[in-house]
Amino acid sequence: MQRTLSIIKPDGVARGLIGQVVKRLEESGLTIIAMKMIHMTKAQAEGFYAVHRQRPFFGSLTDFMSSGPAVVMVLEGENAIARYRDLMGATNYKDAAEGTIRRDFATDIEKNVVHGSDAPETAAFEMGYFFNAFEITPR
């Protein structure tokens, strides 16, 4: 079993896509074991994306991620990190495979609706960034 962090980004929440994203997650067989809505400050978004600090889009990305509420979740399942990355699709929605969340809903390389951890180490950091042990409820 593996766990991964999922975020429905501010564009997804603002556009009323929470239900459609959650439906896809549940239908995929991944289990949502933690979930809450947050509105990150700019500093919290900068901390979350600290690995991207040197990238040219860091300022814009952290402005976007702190621009409104987001839904954060922990997903659990066998091979959950890769399975959820497959459901999300490529970072740039134009390159994302048919039927993926980003292909179907994203409007922009930055405003791409969802985030997912890319490795066990980043998943551990990202889950700990938003959830404490009491907020995670495995079945």
The residues annotated with a catalytic role in the active site are: 115
Specify burial of residue 72 (Cβ count, 10 A radius: 0-12, 13-18, 19+): buried
Q: Does 79 bind ligand GDP (CB under 6 A)?
A: no
For residues 80 to 99, the per-residue mask of contacts with ligand GDP, x marking binding by CB under 6 A and - elsewhere, is: -----------x--------
Residues in the chain: 139
**Residue 133: CB minimum distance to ligand GDP, A:** 26
The beta strand positions in the chain, using DSSP E, are: 2-8, 31-38, 70-77, 114-116
Tokens for 2, please give them.
Answer: 């593996």
Residue 23 and residue 66: Cα distance in Å, rounded?
25
Residue 126 and residue 5: Cα distance in Å, rounded?
6
Q: Does 115 bind ligand GDP (CB under 6 A)?
A: yes
For residues 23 to 62, the per-residue mask of contacts with ligand GDP, x marking binding by CB under 6 A and - elsewhere, is: ----------------------------------x--xx-
Q: Does 129 bind ligand GDP (CB under 6 A)?
A: no
Q: Does 6 bind ligand GDP (CB under 6 A)?
A: no
Binding site for ligand GDP (CB under 6 A): 57, 60-61, 91, 109-110, 112, 115, 118
